[in-house]
Chains A and B, each alone.
Chain A
Amino acid sequence: MSRIFVTGMGMVSAIGNSIADNRHALMQGTSGISKPQFFSSKYSDIPMGEVKTDTESLREELGAWEQGVTRTMLLALKAFKEAIEDAEISFSSLTDETTSLVNASTVGGMCLTDELYNDANKHSNGSEFLASYDTASVSLYLQARYGLKGIINTINTACSSSANAILYGARLIKSGIARRAIVGGVDSLAKFTVNGFNALHILSSGICSPFDEQRNGLNLGEGAAFLILEREEDLHGKKVYAELTGYGNANDAYHPSSLSPNGDGPYLAMKKAVDCLPAGASMIDLINAHGTGTENNDEVESRAMLRLFKSPPAFVSTKAATGHTLGAAGAIEAAYAVLNLHHQEVYASLNFKQPISSTGLTPVLNYEKAALKNVMSNSFGFGGNCTSLIFSKV
C-alpha cells in the first residue's frame, strides 16, 4: 500500500487568511477571538473566532459570482485554491478521475438562517440559496467550479468531520481508488450553532481557556482548511510537508452530547492511531488536542491521554486562538500539526493558568523550537464521533 504525503495546504481562520498568516499568528501567540464584526446575532457580544473578511470582499477576491454562493462556500474556495496552488496541481491532474475531493461541514449553507427560515416555511417564492443549504452544497460547488471528476464526498460527524474527511481521503488512496485526494473541511458562524451551543450552556463568555481548572466553555469559530494528499510514487521530487502515518476512528457510545467519564471513544481513537506506528504511543512527540475549553471535553480528553500514554507527551490546544471551528477544526488542526513538523516548532496553548485538579496536566505555554518526529491531532464530536490523526516528519 502507498505511503501518503501532504504536498499542499490552504487555510482561512480567525488568525489569518493563509497558511503563512496562520503560522505567523501561532508563533506570536495571537488569538483571533473577539466580538464578531460581520456575524449578526443576539449573541454578538460573546467572543467568537470570526474570519476577518466580510462575505462580499471574499466573493470579489475570488471572483465567485455564481448564483447561491454562501460564505461557507467562499471560505472553502479560498482554502481550496491556496492548497491546490501550493501543491502545484495542474489542471489536467485536478480534473483527472483519480483526483478525489472529500470535504466536511456541519453547517453548510445554514449560516443563512433567515433565508432558510423563509424558504423552509414557504414565506418566500424561493431565494437563490435553495440548493445551497445542505452540507454537500460546498463540495458540489467546488466540483462544478473546477470540473472535478474523481470520487467526491461530504462527511458530517459533527466536530470530528474534517478529521474523518482526511482519514477517508487517505483510505481512497490506499485502496487504489484515488491517486491524490483534496481533503478538509469548512464551517462558518451561524445562528444555528451559536444558539445550539448556547442552549447546551457550553459557550464561554470570554476567550476560552483549554485544559484550565477554571475553564467555562468554548468559543465558536469559523474557517476552512484543505490538505493535498499524494502517493509516494507520484511525488517525483516535489515539495513535501509531512507524511500521514496513522489514523483511528471510534465511537464513545455513551451520550449524544457529552463524552464518557473515562473517555472510551477518545482513548480508542488515539489507540487505533498509535497502533499504526511501529512502536506505538511512545513515538508521539506532541498532541494537538481537541481541547475545546468545555468542562466535559478537557477533563475526559486528559483522562484518555493519561490512560494511553501514562505520562502524556507535550500537548496544546489551539482553540483559544481560532475558536472551535466545528466541521473545519480537524483539518485546521491537522494543518497545524503539519506546520509543527515542517518547521520543527510548537505553538503555545493560550489562556492557561492552572491545571485541572483531577488530572494535573499542563499544556505547552510558550512558542518553542523542538525536535518533532510524530504529531497527533485529536477531534471529538457530538454523537461520540472521535478521530485521531498522526503526521510524521519527512
Chain B
Amino acid sequence: MLYIHDTTCISPQQTLGDIDIKHLKSADGNKMMALEPSYQNIPTPVLRRMGKAVRMSVGAAMPLLQHFKPDGLIIGTANGGMEDCIKFLNQIIVYEEGMLTPGNFVQSTPNAIASQISLLSANTAYNITHVHRGLAFENAILDAIMLLKEYPDRGFLVGGVDEISSYNYNIDNLEGWYKKETVNNTSLYLTGSPGTIAGEGAAMFLVKATSAGAIARLRGIAMLHTTDENQVLAGLEAFSNKYLLPGERIDLLLSGENGDSRHLKFYEICEGFLGSKTAVGRFKHMSGEYPTASAFAVWLACTIIQKKSAPAQILKSPPTASAITNILIYNNFKGNQHSFILLSC
C-alpha cells in the first residue's frame, strides 16, 4: 500500500505555496507554460545551468526534502531536458560537428533530473528514471509500490516531470497532436476539433507504506497499451473488480480529456461505465497535455482530498461534488497508452 505524505507541484496554475485551484489561469497560444517560482533554495550558479525540466523538478522536490531523507529518488519523465537536447543537436548541425561545449549534452539526459536532486540533497540511495512516454510517471509509481512492499519501513520521493520545448512542440505539432486553430485553455473542451494544447509541470510526492499523517492512499494503478476503447472498458472493469470493495463506488472521476475529438471516445466509455453517481472532473485545461500530466492529476486529487471538495471549474458533471472519498484518474496519452490510478482519503 502506498500512502502520499506530502506533495508539491509546479504547473501552469497557482499550485506551489499559496495554492489556488478555484480560479483558472488562462493561457493563449496553445501552450500552457508553468508558473515558475523564484527558486530561492537553489544556488544561483547552479540554477543558471539548469534546463527548465531540471529546474522545475529541483524546485518542486527540495521543499519536500528539507525534513525528510528518502530511501530512493524515482522520476518519471518522457523527455527530460528536451530543450537542451535539441540545442546540442542544433550545434552539431550548425557548427558541422565543430568544437562544442558539453553543457547542453550533460543536461539533456533525462536522468539529469534525479541526478541533480540526489546531488543537491546528497542522497546516494536508489535512483532511477522511467522514460516510458505517456506511462513514465505510472511506472515510477509502480516502482515505489514494489519498493514499499519490499521495505515497508522506508520512504521514497516519486516525481513526474516534462517541459514544453519549442522542439518537442514542433515535432508533436507536425504529427498532428496540437490544435491547428489557436485555442484558449478556458474553451479547451468546446472545440470539437482534433488536437490539444501543450502543457508542462513537475509534481513530486513523498510516499510511505504507513498511514499516520498521510494525505491520501494510492490503492491501485493499472496501465494499458491499446488503441481500442473496448479494451479500455475491459481494463476499467477489471481494475474496479480488483481494487474496489463490494458496494464501494468512485465519487469522482478525474478524466484526462484533452479537447482532442479523436480521443473523446475513451473518456466517454469510462464515464458511461462509472454511471451518473460518479462526478466527472477534468484537469487538462489546468495543466495542458504532456506525457506525465497524470502526475499533475495525482497532485490535484491529493489537494481535493485535503480540501474535501472539488472546485466547480474542474467539474464536467454534475456542477458540485462533495464528500469525496474515492477518486479515479483515467488518462491516456496519444490514444495508445492508458492508465487508471485509484486514490482514497
Contacts and interface: CB of A to CB of B under 8 A. Distances in A.
Interface string B114-130: 11101101111111111
Interface string B88-116: 11111100110111100111011110111
A382 B106 contact: yes
A261 B111 CA distance: 21
Name the residue among A106, A113, A155, A250 with the largest chain B CB count within 10 angstroms: A155
Interface residues of A, number: 68
A113 B92 contact: yes
Contacts of A361: none
A358 B105 CA distance: 31
Nearest 8 interchain pairs by C-beta = A383-B115, A196-B105, A126-B174, A42-B97, A136-B133, A251-B127, A120-B167, A199-B102
Contacts of A140: 133, 225, 336
B92 A119 contact: no
A264 B225 CA distance: 39
B109 A250 contact: no
Contacts of A172: 146
A382 B115 CA distance: 8
B171 A251 contact: no
Contacts of B136: 136, 154
B86 interface: yes
Contacts of B172: 130
Given A113-B89, A125-B174, A383-B127, 18 more contacts: A113-B92, A117-B90, A122-B170, A126-B175, A134-B78, A136-B78, A140-B133, A151-B139, A152-B135, A154-B130, A154-B131, A156-B110, A200-B106, A250-B124, A251-B124, A253-B119, A383-B112, A383-B116
A156 B109 contact: yes
Main secondary structure of the interface of A (DSSP, over half): mixed
Interface in B134-151: 135-136, 139, 142-143, 145-146, 149-150
Given A134-B78, A200-B102, A251-B125, A192 B115 contact: no
Contacts of A385: 111, 114-115, 127-129
B171 A199 contact: no
Contact of A120 (B73, B86, B111, B127): B86
A264 B122 CA distance: 11
Interface of A: 41-43, 106, 110, 113-114, 116-117, 119-122, 124-126, 130-131, 133-137, 139-140, 143-144, 148-149, 151-158, 164, 168, 171-172, 174-175, 177, 191-192, 195-196, 198-200, 249-257, 264-265, 268, 381-385
Contacts of B102: 196, 199-200, 257
Contact of B171 (A43, A120, A153, A164): A120
27 contacts: A113-B92, A117-B89, A122-B174, A130-B175, A131-B175, A148-B225, A152-B132, A153-B139, A154-B133, A156-B129, A156-B131, A158-B109, A168-B128, A171-B146, A192-B85, A192-B88, A199-B101, A250-B127, A251-B118, A251-B123, A251-B125, A252-B124, A253-B119, A255-B119, A268-B124, A383-B115, A384-B115
Contacts of B149: 175
Given A121-B90, A250-B125, A384 B119 contact: yes
B223 interface: yes
B240 interface: no
Nearest to A248: B126
Contacts, number: 196
Contacts of B142: 151, 177
A165 to B, nearest CB: 10
Contact of B129 (A152, A157, A264, A268): A157
- A43, A110, A149, A152 pick with most chain B CB within 10 angstroms: A152
Nearest to B168: A120
B79 interface: yes
Contacts of B130: 153-155
Contact of A155 (B129, B133, B168): B129
Nearest to B175: A130
Contacts of A126: 174-175
A149 B313 CA distance: 36
Nearest to B107: A256
Contacts of A144: 225
Contacts of B133: 134, 136-137, 140, 154
A251 B174 contact: no
Contacts of B101: 199
Contact of A382 (B92, B111, B175): B111
Contacts of A200: 102, 105-106
B170 A119 contact: yes
Nearest to A386: B127
A121 B167 CA distance: 6
A168 B142 CA distance: 10
A256 B81 CA distance: 14
A257 B106 contact: yes
Contacts of B78: 134, 136
Contacts of B85: 110, 192
A192 B112 contact: no
A383 B135 CA distance: 22
Nearest to B73: A251
Nearest to A130: B175
A272 to B, nearest CB: 9
Contacts of A175: 145-146, 149-150
B202 to A, nearest CB: 17
Contact of B131 (A134, A148, A254, A268): A134
Given A120-B86, A264-B124, A384-B127, A191 B115 contact: no
Given A120-B170, A195-B92, A199-B100, A149 B111 contact: no
A353 B29 CA distance: 62
B124 A153 contact: no
A129 B258 CA distance: 24
A61 to B, nearest CB: 26
Contacts of B112: 256, 382-383
Contacts of A254: 119
B109 A106 contact: yes
Nearest to A152: B225
A384 B118 contact: yes
